[in-house]
Amino acid sequence: MSALQRVAPRRAKSQLRITELLRAAREVFSEHGFQHATTALIAERAGVSEATVFTYFAGKRELCIQVIKDWYDEISTEVEREMPHLQGVYARLSFVIRHHLITLLADGSGMCALVLGEGRATGPDLADVITECKRRYTAPLMDCLAQGQKQGEIRTDVPLRLMRELIYGSMEHVLWDSITNQKRPAIDKTAEQLTALIWSAITPPNASLEALTRFRDEVRQALQQSLQAASPASA
């Protein structure tokens, strides 16, 4: 038991080291991206030697994976915690969109750039991890939409997978634009408009409305072609 006592504090100390390393790593990876982050800088920020990084993590990539996983854990938990308190598909979609935009822009675009950018450029390992994390992160909303499909609120002629790509893909684009352009968009306004667009997309289409709109479109085309044919000289 006295042996255990000696072990316990060590474990605690180890946990501290790990926590500190992850904190420093998140900082550095956020600031520089995976490629340009260096283990040396991470170690320095964590206040340990470079070798110690490798005592706790198998390598740079593994460390980065852990950073990403932890971060996704956090935001996934937030979403999972909030979702039950919201009623209705629309409210939940609206929340997710707003929450996503706010969260990813909050930390100075750091983790955002990391997850969006390095999730692609780097080897397949990171991409796979991110894919897996995203699955859990998007699950609450996807479940909600599935429910919505059963209740007729959400269209069923399109697979949920595609809706997920519509929702998160468009948000990624919005985020990336705001990162590269270095300007913060009006988040609330953007979230509201994006929600409106997406809601229109995923709710069951009004069949007759669509048909009528398409009809008008075709008539207009035919009319224009007719006019062009009637006065070829002016073409």
Enumerate residues 62-91 that contact its own copies by CB under 8 A: 87-91
Angle between helices 60-82 and 89-106 (to 10 degrees): 140
**What's the farthest any 2 CA atoms get from each other in the chain?**
101
Answer yes or no: are the C-beta atoms of 136 and 72 closer than 8 Å.
Answer: yes
Q: Which is nearer to DNA, 5 or 87 (CB)?
A: 5
Pick what 224 binds: its own copies, DNA, none; C-beta below 5 to 8 Å, kind-dependent: its own copies
Categorise residue 109: left if φ over 0, alpha if ψ from -120 to 50, beta otherwise: left
* Residue from the set 62, 165, 184, 227 that interacts with its own copies by CB under 8 A: 165
- CA separation for the pair 19, 128 (Å, rounded): 24
> According to CB under 7 A, which residues from 32 to 61 bind DNA?
36-40, 48-56, 58-61
CB of 119 to DNA, least distance (A): 18
Residue 209 contact, options DNA, its own copies, none, Cβ 5-8 Å cut-off depending on partner type: its own copies
Instruction: Report if residue 193 touches DNA, rule: CB under 7 A.
Output: no
Q: Which stretch binds DNA (CB under 7 A): 2-10, 135-143, 203-211, 215-223?
A: 2-10
**Shortest CB 24 distance to its own copies, Å:** 16
The candidate with the shortest Cα–Cα distance to 194, out of 78, 100, 64, is 100
Q: Is 156 in the site for its own copies (CB under 8 A)?
A: no
Residues within window 58-77 making contact with DNA, judged by CB under 7 A = 58-61
The distance from CA 155 to its chain's CA centroid, rounded to whole angstroms, is: 23
**Do the beta carbons of residue 235 and residue 228 sit within 8 Å?**
yes
Tokens of 51: 């070798």
